[in-house]
Amino acid sequence: MLLLNSSDLFRPFITSEPLAVELISKAINSKKIAHAYIFSGKNHQNLIELVQVFAKLLLCESLNGMDNCQNCQVFEHNQHPDYRIWQPEGEKNKSLKLAQVKDLISVNQKKPITSKHQVLVLDQINLLSREGCNALLKTLEEPAKYATIIITVDSFDNVLPTIISRCQLIQLKTEEEKKEKAVSEEIIPNSYSQAANFAKEYETKTKEELIDFLKSIQHYLWERVKNDYSEQLFFEQKIEVIAKIEDYLKYLDGYVNQKLILDNFFVLLFENRKFFITK
């Protein structure tokens, strides 16, 4: 559900990043704002633009970001005192400094100036040292009630698990990642008959080709489980499917009947389709 009167803010992202828009909209509409978020994506410009949309909504007096209040107008002129962003420094080898994290922590301890909220952004945490990450942890554990800390990163793989566990996660995808996901989802049958057809189609593959194929599907499913932090329902069932594929790989390596393995593999994907297909 989109925010009332705020569709213009989301227009650049409604088609390309529907899940991110939905997560932000739900948070604002329900007024259940997390104390910390991680925005992940390889397109840094898109990432920062969406972070700014979110920040503007959080600082807006009416939470719609439509420039009808002083907070919105000041924000649009890049002068809002309750919005701060710390970005990598340096000429060649840019990095986030420990001093920047300490500055963020210091600002977090102060009350907002003009808004009821303050938004503190730490950009590209993948360029922050482990010492800096550890310094940030305490603030993420005990944040100020009026502050929202937003962290950006190119990939969740480049964030300490201890930081991830303390944040709400919002992920943006590149076009290549979306295409790869679409292709992978196409191989998950939507009926028993389609499962049988897929199995028959792959019967002609060599054992080596089938092993590579099963490994690629297993990797795809694991990435879905690992990265789709916004929806971790049925986690155990998802892991069971991935473990079962590992069994099929062992069977293939042991020269078990390939047709039987394929029949069971595609039925497994169909019967667990709801756990992995984006609605």
The answer, yes or no, to whether residue 35 has pLDDT greater than 60, is yes
Residues 184 and 164 in one domain: no
Residues 256 and 151 in one domain: no
The answer, yes or no, to whether residue 131 has pLDDT greater than 70, is yes
What's the CA gap between 121 and 90, in Å, rounded? 18
Segment 61-84, tens digit of pLDDT: 877 777 678 998 899 888 899 999
Last residue of a domain, one of 173, 191, 213: 173
Residues 161 and 185 in one domain: no
Residues 129 and 230 in one domain: no
More confident residue, 7 or 200: 200
Residues 27 and 96 in one domain: yes
pLDDT value at position 2? Answer: 43
Residues 163 and 242 in one domain: no
Last residue of a domain, one of 173, 206, 228: 173
Helices (H), the chain: 7-14, 18-30, 44-59, 70-76, 98-108, 130-141, 161-164, 175-186, 192-202, 207-227, 235-253, 258-271, 273-276
Residues 94 and 133 in one domain: yes
Last residue of a domain, one of 173, 200, 221: 173
Residues 226 and 135 in one domain: no
pLDDT value at position 190? Answer: 87
The answer, yes or no, to whether residue 112 has pLDDT greater than 90, is yes
Segment 223-259, tens digit of pLDDT: 777 655 444 556 778 888 889 989 998 888 776 788 8
pLDDT value at position 228? Answer: 56
Residues 136 and 225 in one domain: no
Indicate whether 248 belongs to any domain. Answer: yes
pLDDT value at position 175? Answer: 53
pLDDT value at position 31? Answer: 84
Sheet containing 118-122: give its strands across: 83-86, 118-122, 147-153, 36-40, 168-171
pLDDT value at position 3? Answer: 46
The answer, yes or no, to whether residue 178 has pLDDT greater than 60, is no
Which range of residues forms the domain containing residue 195?
177-276
Residues 59 and 165 in one domain: yes
- Into how many domains does the chain fold? 2
Residues 19 and 149 in one domain: yes
pLDDT value at position 1? Answer: 40
Q: Model pTM?
A: 0.64
Burial bucket for residue 262 (CB in 10 Å: 0-12, 13-18, 19+): buried
pLDDT value at position 123? Answer: 96
The answer, yes or no, to whether residue 181 has pLDDT greater than 60, is no
Indicate whether 1 belongs to any domain. Answer: no
The answer, yes or no, to whether residue 122 has pLDDT greater than 90, is yes
pLDDT value at position 52? Answer: 93
Residues 81 and 181 in one domain: no
Query: Which of 103-117, 176-190, 245-259 is least confident?
Result: 176-190
